[in-house]
Amino acid sequence: MAQLLVRKLEDKVVRKLKERAAEYGVSMEEAHRRILREILLEKKKPKMSFLDYLSTMPKVGRDSDFHIPRKGKMREIDLSD
């Protein structure tokens, strides 16, 4: 198996890796392997609800800014049987 040496990691990244390793009761090296496998091999998409996705959209304008006026008269539709 190949080995990987990662240099110049920010202290915050190392701290988070230590926390994750402790949370799962594994070494930092094993935590690192798991993260790489999950991201690169399993190709899991982040689970985000539609509401969460919508909340990431920037707030631009007012609802009335997006109103599209209708041209001509609306036709009536008979919904009876």
Q: Is residue 18 a part of any domain in this protein?
A: yes
> What number is the average pLDDT over the span 4-19?
93
DSSP characters for 25-62?
Answer: T--HHHHHHHHHHHHHTS-PPPP--HHHHHHTS---S-
Count the domains in the chain. 1
32 within a domain of the structure (yes/no): yes
Tell me, yes or no, whether 69 lies in a domain.
no
| Structural domain boundaries enclosing 20 | 11-55
Residue 47 lies in a domain: yes
pLDDT band for position 72 (cuts 50, 70, 90):
confident
For the stretch 16-68, pLDDT in tens is 999 999 999 999 999 999 999 888 887 666 677 888 888 888 888 888 888 88
Q: Is the residue at 22 inside a domain?
A: yes
51 belongs to a structural domain: yes
CA 22 to chain centre: 24
21 close to 28: Cβ distance less than 8 angstroms: yes
pLDDT of 31? 94
